[in-house]
Amino acid sequence: MALREILHFPDPRLRLRARPVDAVDDGVRALVDDMFETMYAAPGIGLAATQINVQKRILVADVSDDQSAPHCLINPEILSREGEEEMDEGCLSVPGFYERVQRAERVRVRALNRDGEAFEMEIDGLLAVCVQHEIDHLDGKLFVDYLSTLKRNRIRKKLEKQTARAPSERTSLAGSAVNL
Ligand code: K2U
Ligand code: ZN
C-alpha cells in the first residue's frame, strides 16, 4: 500500500471526468487499498480516485469513529434520491474551508465492490452526504461549485496563495479553518 498525493483546488485535474472501470482486477484492488490508506491518513471520511489524479470511477468512504466501516464503490450510480439535508462540508482537496451545502437526505446506490460483485444499498445520514460528495468528484465537481462565484473565487485565491508559499508554512496553514 502507498500514500498518494491529494490534488488541491484549483488544480484543473480535479475537473476531469472519471471513466468507468472495465474489470476489477488486482491493479484496481491495489489502487483501492492505496485510497483507503490515503483517506485514513489525511484524515478524511471519504476519497474519490479523481483526488489522487486517477480518472477511474472509484470512491472509498468510512464514517465510523474507529475505521470499522470501510465502503468501496466502483462505478457507483445513484438510483434514487429522497428528501433534503444541509450540512457544513469540507474537502481534502479544499483544505481549511467549510461551507453549507444542500444534498439529498437518502440515496439508493448501485456499485461494484472490491471483488467486482454488484450490490445496491440504501443510505442516509453522513454516509449519504459523503457518497454524493465523492460521486461529484468523479464527475469533476467540487463542493465549492455550490457556492457563489464570489465565495468560490475567494477560496481559490487563498489556496493559490498557500500553494505559492513555502511548503513548511503551507502545511501549518492547511489545518486552520477560514470562515468566509
Ligand atoms: O472528498 C473528500 O475530500 C473527503 C471529504 C468527505 C466529506 C465531505 C463532506 C461531508 C462528508 C464527507 C473529507 O472527509 S472532508 C473532512 C470531513 C470529515 C468529517 C466530516 C466532514 C468532513
Ligand atoms: Zn472532497
Q: Which residues line ligand 1 (CB under 6 A)?
A: 44-48, 89-93, 126, 129-130, 133-134, 137
Residue 91: what are its φ and ψ, rounded to 5°? -160, 135
pLDDT value at position 91?
Answer: 98
In the chain, % of residues over pLDDT 90:
89
7 Cα–ligand 1 center, Å: 15
Q: Looking at ligand 1, which residue's alpha carbon is closest to its atom 14?
A: 44
3-state SS, one letter per residue, for the chain: CCCCCCCCCCCHHHHCCCECCCCCCHHHHHHHHHHHHHHHHCCCCEEEHHHHCCCECEEEECCCCCCCCCEEEEEEEEEEEECCEEEEECCCCCCCECEEEEECCEEEEEEECCCCCEEEEEEEHHHHHHHHHHHHHHCCCCHHHHCCHHHHHHHHHHHHHHHHCCHHHHHHHHCCCECC
pLDDT, one tens digit per residue, over 53-72 is 999 999 999 999 999 999 99
Active site residue 134: yes
Instruction: Give 15-44 pLDDT, tens digit per residue.
Output: 999 999 999 999 999 999 999 999 999 999
Q: Is the pLDDT of residue 168 over 70?
A: no
Residue 125 has pLDDT above 90, yes or no: yes
- State percent of the chain over pLDDT 70: 92
